Amino acid sequence: MRDYHEFLEEILVPAEDVQRRVKELGAEISQDFKNSDRLVLICILRGGVMFLSDLMREITVPHAVEFMAVSSY
């Protein structure tokens, strides 16, 4: 399998910026749901798994995860 960097013309958003924003989102979600036990994260399969995995690590409140498969139209 070839490295995806071979196909990129340019990087639009540096990885560090994405990780910083994921941390911010995790903190916001944790604050918004600090008094709730009903937080459910829903992931669209394939494309969203890596993002959701990173986000889940940053959320400090209890949460459940559901996965949804969709087909292109």
Tell me the pLDDT tens digit for each residue of 12-42: 999 999 999 999 999 999 999 999 999 999 9
Q: Answer whether 31's CB lies under 8 Å from 60's CB.
A: no
pLDDT for res 73 = 60
What's residue 3's pLDDT? Answer: 82
- Mean pLDDT of all residues in 51-62: 97
Residue 53 vs residues 2, 10, 50, 65, 67: alpha-carbon distances, Å: 24, 25, 5, 10, 12
When pLDDT is averaged across residues 48-68 and rounded to a whole number, the result is 96
Tens of pLDDT along 62-73? 999 999 988 876
